[in-house]
Amino acid sequence: MFFFSKILYTISVNLFTRGKNMNKIRTNTKIAAVTAVFTLAVAFILSACTNPSDSSGGNGGTPETPKYEVKFKAASPVGKIIAKLDNGTEINNGDTVEKGQTVTFTAEITVTSPKYLIAGWLQGSEPIVEAGIESSYSIIITKPADISVVFEKAQQITIKGDERVETSSIDIPENTLWKVIKSDVSKKLQLKSGYQADDYGIYEWKITDKNGEAITDDHKLAAGGTVYAVTNYTKFNIDAGALKGYTGGKPKGNIILPSDITKIDENAFKACTELTGTLDLSKCINLTLIGYNAFYKCSGLTGLILPENLTTIDINAFAECENLTGELNLPESLKSINNYAFNNCKKLNGELSLPKNLKTIGKLAFKFCNGITSVKIRSDKLDPIGEQAFVNMKPGIPFTVKTNEVKGMLENSNSNITSTQITIDSSI
């Protein structure tokens, strides 16, 4: 278009220039003629610019909104699909729908016996996971659609769980993948009374029980099967890797702490007496510090598993956890057990083996741990052992130490321990 207008302009100028050598009347006539020609040319160009042809090749008008074919069907004769636009207009299989329109597909089961359920929705041959097994599914048309719904016979499964979960059941379609139905099963899960519903969530789904195999997305549940929900407290207060405690109600039952924490701050779970079961920190591989009063008076805890990279158990960290049971297995990375750390953990039992890298045993650290049957101090790097670190344990229990120096520390700091109780063994 620019090239065409340039040619017209050049012609006009040439005509004008040639007219300069003619008489005045003729010149004026030529100028008028050239002006008229140029005006008509400009008008033509402007008309062409402002009146483009439409998509069908005609001139003028707004381009038509694209339309796409919408196909839909039930994959078996036990049901059907009804499709409607937002305005309620029902459409037929194969109709075209304007781009941007919303179409809602509703599946209806027409056979009453045996019982059938929606097993899932498909776009072409691909499952629409987000649709789940709901009776309706809506899409915004942006391309051709090919929607179908699959029906399967109903089967019942049992939903069980840990101490927070009410046992229930749910009908699901047979031969259905777990990823399609898990959200519907989750909605069916109910917490027992006494638990704050918004403070707990599903941590993991397993088959049969909490020790069973985790369910994969592509798993098919067998009729009459059981799924097991492992729940967990969800309102942990974490800042830059430090677990500072929680918000909401005090956590109850067994809790699973986030695996990426680096320390548990002071008073984090102080006096959470309704925590129960084993506190398993084995997956918290970056955890180095359990702080002051972190689990003080958590009397409901019955077991403790510490992580392999832990370096410090601070003052009162597990003091008054009077129902902790079993041997206390301390990681080799541990360097400090501070004052009163396990005071009155009276049900700890078996041998207490203190790690080779340990530098500090605080005063009264194991006071009243009278279930322990023997103590082995394997470190030769100790600062002076804290005053009465092993007071009020079982009278006469044997101690094994690595050096004569450690033996002297033990005798000097603990008036209840006599020389006859202590054996030196450099090989430990």
Per-residue pLDDT of the chain (428 residues; tens, 9 = 90+): 444 444 434 444 443 444 444 344 344 444 444 344 444 444 444 444 444 444 444 455 678 999 999 999 998 899 999 999 999 999 999 999 999 999 999 999 999 899 999 989 999 999 998 898 899 999 999 999 999 999 999 999 999 999 999 999 999 998 888 998 899 899 999 999 999 989 999 999 999 888 899 999 999 988 888 999 999 999 999 999 999 999 999 999 999 999 999 999 999 999 999 999 999 999 999 999 999 999 999 999 999 999 999 999 999 999 999 999 999 999 999 999 999 999 999 999 999 999 999 999 999 999 999 999 999 999 999 988 999 999 999 999 999 999 999 999 999 999 999 999 999 999 99
Nearest to 364 by CA among 313, 296, 316: 316
Nearest to 233 by CA among 243, 247, 213, 212: 247
Q: What gap in Å lies between CA 251 and CA 274, rounded to an integer?
A: 7
Beta-carbon contacts of 222 under 8 Å, excluding residues fewer than 6 positions away, are none
How far out from the chain centre does Cα 346 lie?
Answer: 38
Nearest to 123 by CA among 109, 143, 102: 143
The pair phi, psi for residue 182, each rounded to 5°, is -65, -35
pLDDT at 164: 96
| Domain segments of the chain as ranges | 2-50, 67-153, 154-232
pLDDT at 10: 47
236-241: long-range contacts, CB 8 A cutoff, minimum separation 24: 241/286
pLDDT at 121: 94
Q: What is the CATH number of domain 154-232?
A: 3.10.20.90
